[in-house]
Amino acid sequence: MKAPPDTWQRAQAWVGQGVDAIDTPSLVIDLDAMERNLARMATFARERGLRLRPHAKMHKSAELSRLQMAQGAVGVCVQKTDEALRLAAAGVGNIYISNEVIAAHKLERLAGAVRDRAARFALAVDSAEGIDRLAAALQAAGVHEAAAIDVFVEIDVGQGRCGVPPGEAALALVRLIHQHPAMRWAGLQAYHGGAQHRRGAAERADAIAASAQAVRLTLDALRQHGLHAPLVTGAGTGSLVNEAASGLWGELQAGSYLFMDADYATNERDAASPVFEHALFVKSQVMSRSADHAVCDAGHKSHAIDSGLPRVAHPAGLVFANGGDEHGVLRAAAPGAPLPALGDTVWLIPGHCDPTVNLHDFFVGVRGGLTQGHVERLITIDTRGALA
């Protein structure tokens, strides 16, 4: 899925040029910072003997998925059927939909891709009906191969969203999965999204300690009936050190570590966590000036504001205020501090990376830093708008 040809072609002309050539507003990756994040996360997982399956719902890109897999990730996670199918079409070979899929037409599309071996797929379930519906779709698609799709049973480990309660409830679902030869029971999905953004490291540790208790209860209940979970998968950027240290989770699903948004930067870092740097920016330009404020050309059509407004990375000393869809209002953080001039560049760190990425057709990859660097390549955001 390329951007409209005019935009895409114009942007191609920036490749090889200095950062000044990048039109505004644009979504820019500092490739050097991103690659440091990539390597630190890969090392963290490798040193602990854990599988890494980063969440591609964050970057929505086949190229970045492949980059993560080239550094040791076993595959990627997504949340949506169409995200999975688009990434598969773009050559990503191992994709886990870490979410429940119930609609017959979605399962039909997924089953068709399983039959065509478009990738190795996995899916989360939390109901007998979900399993029955998946089985019906696989059968209708003519999937006869044994263990053609991996199926994880999701347990609610504290978020109060999807998942069966911890303990016995998983048992019936695992037994049902075992009745369908085309499905392989791959283990438990245990993700606590609500824990990720608790600001204190100790608060996050407490939340995941409770999640671990829920996992333990479930594993024990299964074990009593002779069922051994092959894997427990979960964790995000905020809490991954806790799941990693628990001895229960075997696979980490963190996504945001690659870009680190402004919201995540307000978490107190756990001492055991790798240091992740901001690598995603919106480049904007000052288009209007008054005595007490400047206005840049990036409003909330260029960055999501569900987790707060962007932070100004550069120039220093500015505070971003909501100026609406296409504008951002910049004020001096301290009285008398200088405001940028008309035409100046302003670099913003988005509040929340996932929905910000979903607003853009491509990333502009910059090598050599945001002041002296040049545009190395454009990276397509393949699953933009893949919401079904």
Report whether 317 contacts 337 (CB < 8 A).
yes
354 CB-near residues (< 8 Å, 6+ apart) = 57, 58, 255, 256, 304
255 binds ligand PLP (CB under 6 A): yes
Q: Single out the segment in contact with ligand PLP by CB under 6 A; choices: 2-10, 145-153, 221-229, 231-239.
A: 231-239
Kindly tell me which of 100 and 344 has the beta carbon lying closer to ligand PLP. 100
Q: Where does residue 308 rank: exposed (0-12), middle (13-18), buried (19+ CB within 10 A)?
A: middle
Counted residue by residue, the chain has a size of 388
Q: Single out the segment in contact with ligand PLP by CB under 6 A; choices: 1-9, 12-20, 68-76, 190-198.
A: 190-198
Minimum CB–partner distance for residue 224 and ligand PLP (Å): 27
Q: Single out the segment in contact with ligand PLP by CB under 6 A; choices: 19-27, 252-260, 342-350, 357-365.
A: 252-260
Residues in 39-78 at the binding interface with ligand PLP, rule: CB under 6 A: 55, 58, 77
| Rounded Cα gap, residues 22 and 363, in angstroms | 11
35 CB-near residues (< 8 Å, 6+ apart) = none
351 binds ligand PLP (CB under 6 A): no
Minimum CB–partner distance for residue 209 and ligand PLP (Å): 19
Select the residue interacting with ligand PLP from 163, 187, 236, 310 (CB under 6 A): 236
Kindly tell me which of 211 and 237 has the beta carbon lying closer to ligand PLP. 237
Put the strands of the sheet holding 149-154 in their side by side order: 51-52, 251-252, 232-234, 183-189, 149-154, 120-125, 94-97, 76-78
Minimum CB–partner distance for residue 254 and ligand PLP (Å): 4
Measured CA to CA in angstroms, residue 1 lies from 87, 166, 297 at distances of: 10, 40, 26
Select the residue interacting with ligand PLP from 65, 81, 256, 273 (CB under 6 A): 256
Measured CA to CA in angstroms, residue 71 lies from 35, 52, 281, 377 at distances of: 10, 10, 23, 20
211 binds ligand PLP (CB under 6 A): no
Size of the site for ligand PLP (CB under 6 A): 14
Kindly list the residues in this chain that would bind ligand PLP in the complex (CB under 6 A): 55, 58, 77, 98, 191, 193, 196, 236-238, 253-256
